[in-house]
Amino acid sequence: MNVFKFKRPFLFCCLLAITLLAMPATAMAKHNHQDKTPDWCFVDPEEEVPSESYDSILYSDIAPRLCEIQRTSDRVRVEVIGQSAGGRNLFLATVTDPMDKKRKRHKDKGRHKDLRKLMIRDPEKALALIEEYDDFNVPVFINCSIHGDEYPGTDACMRLIETLAYDDSEEVQAILDNTILLFNVVQNPDGRVMGTRRNANDIDINRDMITQSQPETRATVSVITEWNPMVFLDLHDDVQPMLIEPCTPPHNPNYEYDLYLTWSWELALAMEAELLLQKELDNLYYPYDTARIPYRDWDLGWDDWPPIYAAMYPIYHGAYGHTIETWSEAIHGVDADYAVVWGALNYTVANKKEMVADQIEVFRRGALDLPQMLIPDYLLEETPWDQYNELTIQEFPAAYVIPAGPPYQPSTHQAARLVDFLLFNDVQVEAAQRSFWLKGEKYPKGTYVVWMDQPKRGMANTILDPGLDLSYIEGLYFYSPPSVWSHPYLWGAYRAVMEDPIPIRTRKIKKAKAVKGSVERGKAGAIAFLPTSLAAFQATNDLLAQGATLYRAEAAFEDGGEMIGAGAVIMKAGKWKARQLAREYGLDVLTLKKMPEDLTRLQQRRIAVYGDGGIRNCLDRLGFAYDLVSEEDLDAGMISGYDLFINDSLRWTRLSPEGQAAMTAWFDAGGDYIGLSYRGRPIQFAIDAGIADVAYDYVSGNAIVNVDYDPDDSVAAGFRADGYAFVYYPGWFSDLGEGVKVAATLDPGENLLLSGFWPEWKTSGANGQPVIVHQTTDTRDVTLIGIDATFRGHPENAFRIVGNAIYDGLEN
């Protein structure tokens, strides 16, 4: 039988049924009778946008098909691993032969997971085990249609599942005997239903892997950390000729890139060969004589530097990850996807022992603190392009130290979030059992320590390291930003570096210590809390929604001889309310002697937003209610129903004359404006609308920069004076009109840029320039933000700037 031509409806494969031993060549897959049909089998039909190029499988048809496959084949098990942002099920289909043909019995499904865990717990023992035994299965993860409007990936996966579920050819049996296939059948159900690249939250999931703001991302990460797949294939379209990674430089130094490239290169060649073989056999239409392998064929522009991509993130877990871009949006693209995955599976079967040995070597190097290795010469000879080999290795510190709370942490919440994020990503975190000294600072018992002699040191370092400054490399460019993403710097969590090990006792933890608030001693004439955490904004908005009367101090004030910072949220309440806020939100609540004067009454604002998923994620995290508006809405005058407009990318010139007139009238009537920074568009919008008297500059680049915040300013309230921000197409203000206040400036010295890729920063004139400004007039408040405070939902410490600006527009 020609396996490739097998084209009946097909299903995706789920996660749990895992085996270590060889499997039988049964004449037919046995029926897997179930007493009860799972609830996930039933899907309410809804209006969907299918492919315009071929008869693609509807999302509502996938669950019933998977259900039937699971019912009729005991090789397939399907489970729901979560729900999408829009509430649709995420299906994981696991495919393997359940029988042990040597022992004539069902396999011990836990034994393979035991091996995967042993790889982490004791890599040297795992290496010895695979040298002694050949009888084990390796997990292969196939990720289908992370971009919802790239339909062929899911359809190819369904075809693969059905082939593997029912076919009894020797080729299929060999795959089942040696692999465990994990199919993420539809990683982006929302996009598939709506016909969009992004999910229902307007987030590109294939840019979210190191942020993990979306449920689809977190579900995928959970499977990756559970299984540590050896091969990871992420199916996309469309690039001509068909594109098969590995990538162009630069290559992230936190990978063990020599090990990764050894096998990703061979896998790419095997996938290309299978594609061309099926073309030669007339089993598919493919109008090219080669595939496109970026490592071989391009100098730059398709890099694996940022771990934002689905295929790059698993490399930290030892996987040989590949993005695959099929060449056609039509059925030919499905055929090509099927072919290259089949080629990867056959190659994996033939080479699994050597491949898994190098995967284990990734963990062994980390656990034993062994040095990284450069890409070997024989692989460099496969490409004519400079690979910037010196960037593929680095020195790791002995440990990172994360204090749990003050005085080190501006937000106890963010420190706990960082630790839980590390743990979720399979990084080992420990806690100090007693206080210790590091670089002249005393850290208390309970301080978190991330030792870097651990199997997944690359994962730990990519989260905790500040990143590199690549601005000096002439001619360098990237496929997509960011070039840096450091979580401590952008999430607002302090961490220290232990360069050399010191003798301290630590114990492993499974989760961060729960954040507990506090209530200041003394009688309470009123209570207050500061905007130093996202939780403070969540509490404020929840209280407003409940009808509570709240006030905000625009400036610092004195109470009983103590200075209370700007931006404090104040309510007339006693200690019972203070204790409730401390308990429910983890806030440090201050007790005031009396209600201060000159306060602003807080209220829920009617917010219109023109923006992407980044600003939406920001507002959702802070707890603000808002409505999205389009150009058409603004042209129709719908802005009249709101009192605040937040703009992250709209040009004034995109509005019709009627829309511009409506906006002008709204501004004249007192409408407030917050302009975020995307290539200067929202700032220019304010200038063109006549509501901002500023001049600005911006240049290409993205980086983490040092910023001087003014904690006494109402927009920078709650920030420490010395801080950081992410910039993308960084913008700053070169001239300010009368009455424009400065909330933050770029660092004036030579330390402006911490890390990233901003080639012109030294000659740009940005040093010391205002980067966040605002102005209050008799009729309106305008805030203009030159940093990228909401970039793809990642720089969440800067969300508080947006929250402050929203409150700042309220009248006294």
Domain definitions of the chain by residue range: 11-20+74-365, 394-508, 518-601, 607-808
Q: Kindly report the length of the chain.
A: 812
Q: Work out the average pLDDT over 422-450.
A: 98
Q: Is the pLDDT of residue 21 over 80?
A: no
Mean pLDDT for the stretch of residues 103-125: 74
- DSSP symbol at 392: G
The verdict on whether omega for the bond into residue 238 sits within 30 degrees of 0, i.e. cis, is: yes
The reply to whether omega before 258 is within 30° of 0 (cis) is no
Model pLDDT, residue 522: 86
- State phi, psi for 392 to the nearest 5 degrees: -85, -5
CB 429 within 8 A of CB 449: yes
Q: What is the pLDDT of residue 6?
A: 33
**Tens digit of pLDDT for each residue in 281-329?**
999 999 999 999 999 999 999 999 999 999 999 999 999 999 999 999 9
- Look at residues 571, 778, 598 and name the one whose alpha carbon lies nearest to residue 691: 778
- According to the model, what pLDDT value does residue 89 have? 99
Whether the per-residue pLDDT at 1 is higher than 70: the answer is no
Average pLDDT, rounded, for the chain: 94
pLDDT at residue number 25: 34
**C-alpha distances out from residue 483 to 89, 344, 418, 599, Å:** 33, 30, 20, 42
**Bigger pLDDT: 515 vs 6:** 515
Fold of 11-20+74-365: Aminopeptidase (3.40.630)
Q: How would you class 26 by CB atoms within 10 Å of its CB: exposed for 0-12, middle for 13-18, buried for 19 or more?
A: middle
Q: Could you read off the pLDDT of 131-156 as tens digits, one per residue?
A: 888 889 999 999 999 999 999 999 99
Cα(675)–Cα(710) distance, integer angstroms: 19
Q: Quick one: pLDDT at residue 362?
A: 99
pLDDT over 90 (residue 112): no
Residue 8 pLDDT grade (very low, low, confident, very high; cuts 50, 70, 90): very low
pLDDT score recorded for residue 32: 47
Q: If you average pLDDT over residues 547-555, what whole number do you get?
A: 98
For residue 774, list its beta bridge partners: 741, 783
- Which of the 8 DSSP states describes residue 242? P
**Residue 756 φ/ψ region, left for φ over 0, alpha for ψ in the -120 to 50 degree band, beta for the rest:** left
d(CA 82, CA 216): 7
User: Can you give the pLDDT at residue 35?
Assistant: 59
Contact predicate 412/406, CB 8 Å = yes
Please name the residue ranges forming H helices in 287-330.
294-297
pTM comes to: 0.94
Round to whole Å and give the CA distance between 19 and 94: 11
- What does the block give as tokens for 631? 């150009």
pLDDT in tens, 234-246: 999 999 999 999 9
* Distance (Å, whole) CA 759 – CA 781: 34
What's the pLDDT at 110?
A: 56
Q: Using CA atoms, how far apart are residues 673 and 645, in angstroms rounded to an integer?
A: 5
**Which residue, chain included where needed, has tokens 């987030």?**
203
| Helix ranges (DSSP H) in 281-403 | 294-297, 331-367, 377-380
Sheet of 231-237: strands edge to edge? 76-83, 89-95, 179-184, 138-144, 231-237, 320-326, 243-244
Give strand ranges (E) for 159-228: 179-184
Task: Find where tokens 């929203």 sit.
Answer: 806
Query: Do the bridges between strand 320-326 and strand 303-304 make them parallel or antiparallel, or are there none, so unpaired?
Result: unpaired
808: Cβ contacts below 8 Å, ≥ 6 apart: 554, 714, 715, 774, 776, 781, 783
Question: Out of 95-109, 185-199, 623-637, which region has the weakest mean confidence (pLDDT)?
Answer: 95-109
Distance from CA of residue 241 to its chain's centroid?
29
Cβ within 8 Å of residue 190, ≥6 positions away:
84, 85, 86, 88, 148, 196, 198, 199, 200
Q: Which residue type is seen at 273?
A: A
Q: What is the sign of the dihedral through the CA atoms of 472, 477, 482 and 483?
A: negative
92 pLDDT higher than 60: yes
Distance, in Å, from the CA atom of 771 to the CA atom of 686, rounded to the nearest integer, reads 15
Q: What is the pLDDT of residue 747?
A: 98
Q: How many Å apart are CA 710 and CA 783, to the nearest integer?
A: 15
Rounded CA gap, 306 and 313, in Å?
9
**Of all residues in the chain, what percent carry a pLDDT higher than 70?**
94
| Residue pair 342/3 in contact by the 8 Å Cβ criterion | yes
Distances (CA, A) of 525 to 117, 357, 361, 531, 568: 56, 67, 63, 20, 15
For residue 29, what are its two tokens?
């897959």
Contact call for residues 260 and 267 (beta carbons, < 8 A): no
The model's confidence at residue 779, banded by pLDDT at 50, 70 and 90, is confident
How far apart, in whole angstroms, are the C-alpha atoms of residue 566 and residue 88?
A: 43
Which secondary-structure segment (H or E) carries 570?
strand 569-571
Count CB neighbours of 363 within 10 A.
Answer: 26
**In this structure, what token pair is assigned to residue 467?**
């990143």
Distance, CA of 573 to CA of 595 (rounded, Å): 10
- To the nearest 10°, report the CA torsion of 731, 734, 740, 746: 50
pLDDT at 437: 98
Q: Return the pLDDT at 134.
A: 85
Residue 628 has pLDDT above 80, yes or no: yes
| Pick from 130, 151, 145, 179: nearest CA to 22 | 179
Query: 351-387: per-residue pLDDT in tens?
Result: 999 999 999 999 999 999 999 999 999 999 999 999 9
Task: Please report where in the chains the tokens 């946008």 appear, as a residue.
Answer: 49
In this prediction, residue 230 carries a pLDDT of 98
Band of residue 556 on the pLDDT scale cut at 50, 70, 90: very high
Q: Is the pLDDT of residue 30 over 50?
A: no
For 686-736, the pLDDT digits (tens) are 999 999 999 999 999 999 999 999 999 999 999 999 999 999 999 999 999
pLDDT score at 587: 98
Task: Tell me the CA end-to-end span of the chain in Å, nearest whole number.
Answer: 79
Q: How many CB atoms lie within 10 A of CB 257?
A: 27
Of the listed ranges 35-44, 108-117, 616-625, 707-716, the one predicted with least confidence: 108-117
User: Which range is least confidently modeled, 104-113, 189-198, 247-256, 481-490?
Assistant: 104-113
Question: 479-494: per-residue pLDDT in tens?
Answer: 999 999 999 999 999 9
As assigned by CATH, the class of the 607-808 domain is: alpha beta
Residue 441's DSSP bridge partners are 438
